[in-house]
Amino acid sequence: MTLNQTIPKDGQQHAVPVAWRTTLSQIVRAIKEDRLSSLDPALHVRAVLPDDVLDIRENIRAYGVTLVELPADSWKTSVCMWSRAGFWNVMVDLHSLEEGRSDLVLGVRIVEEGDEYNYEVEWVHVP
C-alpha cells in the first residue's frame, strides 16, 4: 500500500488509518482461513515464520472460537501508535462467530519504507 495520507508519529494512540484497513482485513482473512503463510506478496506483508504461524494457530485454538471477517465495528476499537523505534504498533480487535468481538487481538508492526507501508504480523493472543 503506497503512502496516501499522513499517519501521526506522535507516540499517542490513534484509530487505525483507513489506508491500512484493507490489508489488515486481508491478514485477518488469511488467519481465519489458515493460510497466513501464503499471503499475496502485493500486500507487502512480510513472510510469517512457521513457528509464529503455529503459535497464532494454537492461541486461537486454545481460546476456543471461530474467527470471522472483520466487521466495520472493529475499527471503532482497534488502535495504532507510533514507536520511537521507527514503526507503528497496531492492535486489531478480532471477532468470532461465538462472541462477536472477542478478547483476541492481532498485533502488527507497520514500517514505512520509501513510499510504501510494509506489514509484519507479530502475534494473535489475549493481551
Look at residue 1 in the predicted model and tell me its pLDDT. 44
Residue 88 is inside which H or E element, if any?
strand 87-96
Residue 35: inside a domain: yes
Residue 54: inside a domain: yes
2 pLDDT above the threshold of 70: no
| Dihedral over Cα of 95, 96, 101, 107: its sign | negative
Per-residue pLDDT tens digits for 42-69: 899 999 999 999 999 999 999 999 999 9
> How many structural domains compose the chain?
1
The whole-angstrom separation of Cα 31 and Cα 56 is: 8
Residue 4: inside a domain: no
In the three-class reduction of DSSP (H, G, I as helix; E, B as strand; rest coil), residue 69 is classed as coil
Q: Please, are residues 47 and 120 in contact by the beta-carbon 8 Å criterion?
A: no
- What is the CATH number for 47? 3.30.2310
Per-residue pLDDT tens digits for 94-121: 999 999 999 999 999 999 998 899 999 9
65-103: b or e for each residue (b if 16 or more CB lie within 10 Å)? bebbebeeebbeebbbebeeeebbbbbbbbbbeeeeebe
Range of the domain at 45: 13-125
Residue 84: inside a domain: yes
Per-residue pLDDT tens digits for 4-18: 568 999 999 999 999
Look at residue 3 in the predicted model and tell me its pLDDT. 52
Q: Please, are residues 39 and 30 in contact by the beta-carbon 8 Å criterion?
A: yes
